Amino acid sequence: MEEITSKIILGEKRLKLASDHVDRVLTRIFISVGFPEDISKATSSHLVDANLVGVESHGIMRVLEYADEVKSGVLNPSSRPELIKQDKNFLEINASGGIGIPALNLAYDECCKDAEDKDLSIMAVKHVGHTGRLGAYAEVAGQRGFLTICMGGGNRQYWRQVAPPGGAKAMLPTNPWCIGIPAGKTGPVVLDFATSKIAGGWIYAAKSAGALLPDNSVKDANGNVTRNPDDYFSGGALMPAAEHKGFGLALIAELVGQALLGPSTTKHWLLIAIKADQFREKTAFERVADEILDEIRSCPPAPGSSGVQIPGERERIQRSASQNILQIPVSTWDQICDLAGKYGVPI
């Protein structure tokens, strides 16, 4: 089993724990916090998988955040996402302030089913809490034969995280985008990214683990570049990805999320699903997709690099290499154990 790749720089060791054990612990915590059993299981499974694919910013440390948000009233643990509108090619789900993982599971499933019949479907997902790793949903949709485009925004009043180019303070959320498309023999190509230089979850992951952040990703309250996650929580800001390009994508998502879809105290998402084989016969599409991807992979590696990876492949490679073992910072696991102890959940 290989050591995981991570964006945080740890000064401590990692524990190696079986994924099914961690899954059981998190599920029991979620149930104890007040989530229904099925939502608890789905949320825990999603977070564990995020760790297995090397995206710990959206992994098990999020149980600490979700529990705090329930306690503070930001999340409603008893809410269930509901499909409330189905009009022509437009669908709408109301998550009623609940956790976002079951809402996005439902959204991608219903949107793809609708596009199966109509070739194209558009969905709004409203009033939803944190949605987990978007790439997980796009990968499943890609395997089902759908091109999906998803963006989220609309809660800048509550989550000002990213400073725009030329600006001195945080103004916008990280407003992620995710695009997934079916491909050939290696599976869908999945582009899942925050519009900031790093996802906000990496700051929480670094703080929980007592770790440092990547360089040139965060500024402190005085505008100085920092690697200390505490500086972000003391009035700092994330820097936009690719300067004006990341800012532009974040701004579009904010306009869609609030100006187009309406006011929200959490976040709104716009999801588009397109049936891929309506344009070209499936085998022909996959053959050409493989030709393109193989050509890109054949690019000679730059000095110090192991070569080119296609978006979405790193996660699948990491999941396979993990052998269902999570590598968790000791400090993060200690905090999860403390939370479990408060609710009488055995470790």
Domain membership of residue 109 (yes or no) is: yes
Domain membership of residue 5 (yes or no) is: no
CATH number at residue 69: 3.30.1370.60
Q: How confident is the model at residue 1 (pLDDT cuts 50, 70, 90)?
A: low
Domain membership of residue 8 (yes or no) is: no
| Structural domains in the chain (count) | 1
Instruction: At 66, list the tokens.
Output: 């979700």
Domain membership of residue 4 (yes or no) is: no
Lowest mean pLDDT among 4-18, 60-74, 175-189: 4-18
pLDDT of residue 157 exceeding 90, the answer is: no
Instruction: Determine the pLDDT at residue 94.
Output: 96
Mean pLDDT of 253-282: 93
pLDDT of residue 155 exceeding 90, the answer is: no
Are 229 and 217 in contact by the 8 Å Cβ rule? The answer is no
Q: What's the burial of 43, exposed, middle or buried (CB within 10 Å: 0-12/13-18/19+)?
A: buried
pLDDT of residue 2 exceeding 70, the answer is: no
User: Alpha-carbon distance 246 to 195, whole Å?
Assistant: 5
Kindly report, residue by residue over 272-315, the tens digit of the pLDDT.
999 999 999 999 999 999 999 999 999 999 999 999 999 999 99
Interior CA angle at 116 toward 112 and 119, to 5°?
100
Domain membership of residue 31 (yes or no) is: yes
Which is more confident, 325 or 6? Answer: 325
Mean pLDDT of 248-258: 97
Instruction: At 58, list the tokens.
Output: 């959206």
Kindly report, residue by residue over 191-213, the tens digit of the pLDDT.
999 999 999 999 999 999 999 99
Q: Please, what is the average pLDDT of the chain? A: 95
Mean pLDDT of 11-15: 90
Are 194 and 200 in contact by the 8 Å Cβ rule? The answer is yes
Mean pLDDT of 263-271: 89
| 3-state SS, one letter per residue, for 169-183 | CCCECCCCEEEEECC
Are 30 and 98 in contact by the 8 Å Cβ rule? The answer is no
Domain membership of residue 155 (yes or no) is: yes
Q: In which domain, by residue range, is 65 found?
A: 14-342
Cα–Cα distances (Å) from 292 to 183, 224, 286, 289, 295, in that order, read: 10, 42, 10, 5, 5
User: Alpha-carbon distance 285 to 83, whole Å?
Assistant: 32
Q: How many CA atoms lie within 13 A of 260 on its CB side?
A: 17
Mean pLDDT of 30-55: 98
Beta bridge partners of 91: 86, 123
Mean pLDDT of 261-271: 90
Share of the chain above pLDDT 90, in %: 90
Domain membership of residue 1 (yes or no) is: no
Domain membership of residue 65 (yes or no) is: yes
- Token pair 């290499």 is found at 321
Kindly report, residue by residue over 54-110, the tens digit of the pLDDT.
999 999 999 999 999 999 999 999 999 999 988 888 999 999 999 999 999 999 999
Mean pLDDT of 174-184: 96
